[in-house]
Amino acid sequence: MSDQSEIHIRKEGRAGRITLDRPKALNALTYEMALAIERALDEWRDDDAVDLVIIDAVGDKAFCAGGDIQKLYDTGKAGDFTYGRTFWADEYRLNAKIAEYPKPYVALMQGFVMGGGVGISCHGSHRIVCESTQIAMPECGIGLVPDVGGSLLLARAPGRLGEYLGCTGSRMGADDAIYAGFADSYVPHEKWPALIGTLIETGDVAAISPQSEAPPQGTMKARASEVDTHFGGETLGDIINSLRADDSDFAVATLKTMTRNAPLSMACTVEMIHRLQGPTADIRRALGLEYRFTWRAMEQGDFIEGIRAAIVDKDRNPRWKHDLATLPAIAVSQMLLPLGKNALTFEEEVSS
């Protein structure tokens, strides 16, 4: 059972309502919260009284700044990889349900929306951002890859923007998020209460469009040609070489950011995005590919070291398994090999 103080799930008018309420923790998503959201979606799927789902969060700073990774770290450090693998499998099943949900799923995203927060919002049918929104997939900084289906969103971003966002973890304001395909509509925050009221009353997403405005101008469109020039390579090595050969402000700043991130994670991110570019890729294929990496992330990857450096010891000095110059291609292949009997199935484990 989820802690009722951390997430509020109820029906109001024509809407199923989900509100994250851990503002001091930037609404980081716990395992229990993810399971509670899934249960609600299952219940509402065939409930004729629910026309749409609204997910929002308490506080100004964040819709959801990511997954609650302390327990992942503690169990993995102790050599227990089962908890993390089960957590990711269950979380990814939820992400797929949101992407495939038969009713409108309206996400209102203020402040930070990162990692696990992207997974419970950016696959929805109606994704609303405001003046404070900052969306990012910063997983390469902690030895993971953009997951929760984020790899698919990155693969569908215009030009080479996905590779850039995935490798750098750059933050997107409202305009950039809409441009990159992570959001749909800009509605100023002060209009949200009235919009939610109308959605609850009518159960009709047609209420969103009249409240939408043009967002303040972002930066990604202006950078598009530089991004496409440098991030069009086949591998991470190609991208690094291209950036190193350019002394522009963009190239220097981008290279500086990337040298802090885990080389194995960035290389796998590039490979995953390339595999998912094309008409046959869908949410399940993306999540299955991500799971190959996350299943191995503690035992073979840099995840535990990444969390240690960023969150536990906070020394910001991770000792990655590989450096950019010597990362072997085989390491990327090994992280993304099919998992055989351990492959992600999207089935619920029935506990006896």
Give the DSSP per-residue string, 173-216. -HHHHHHHTS--EE--GGGHHHHHHHHHHH--GGGHHHH-BPPP
47 in Cβ contact with 60 (< 8 Å): no
Mean pLDDT over 28-34 rounds to 96
pLDDT of residue 280: 87
Catalytic residue among 68, 147, 175, 290: 147
Structure-block tokens of residue 136: 């990012």
pLDDT tens sequence across 160-178: 999 999 999 999 999 999 9
pLDDT at 267 over 50: yes
Structure-block tokens of residue 319: 């000792």
Token look-up 């209009």 returns 191
Q: What is the mean pLDDT of the chain?
A: 96
pLDDT at 53 over 80: yes
pLDDT tens sequence across 308-337: 999 999 999 999 999 998 899 999 999 999
Amino acid in position 3: D
Query: DSSP label at 81?
Result: -
Active site residue 201: no
27 in Cβ contact with 59 (< 8 Å): yes
228 in Cβ contact with 160 (< 8 Å): yes
pLDDT of residue 347: 87
The alpha carbon torsion through 240, 178, 14, 194 (nearest 10 deg) reads: 130
pTM > 0.75:
yes
pLDDT of residue 2: 44
In order of their start, the domains of the chain are 7-342 (3.90.226.10)
pLDDT at 345 over 70: yes
Specify the 3-state DSSP secondary structure of 273: helix
Catalytic residue among 84, 115, 116, 166: 116
pLDDT of residue 352: 42
Mean pLDDT over 54-79 rounds to 95
Active site residue 66: no
pLDDT at 158 over 80: yes
Mean pLDDT over 101-113 rounds to 98
pLDDT at 206 over 90: yes
Catalytic residue among 68, 139, 290, 302: 139
Going by pLDDT thresholds of 50, 70 and 90, the confidence category of residue 29 is very high
Structure-block tokens of residue 200: 């609850």
pLDDT of residue 279: 87
pLDDT tens sequence across 137-154: 999 999 999 999 999 999
Active site residue 68: no
pLDDT at 195 over 80: yes
- Report how far residue 300's alpha carbon sits from residue 283's, in angstroms, rounded to the nearest whole number: 25
Mean pLDDT over 70-74 rounds to 92
pLDDT of residue 351: 53
Active site residue 218: no
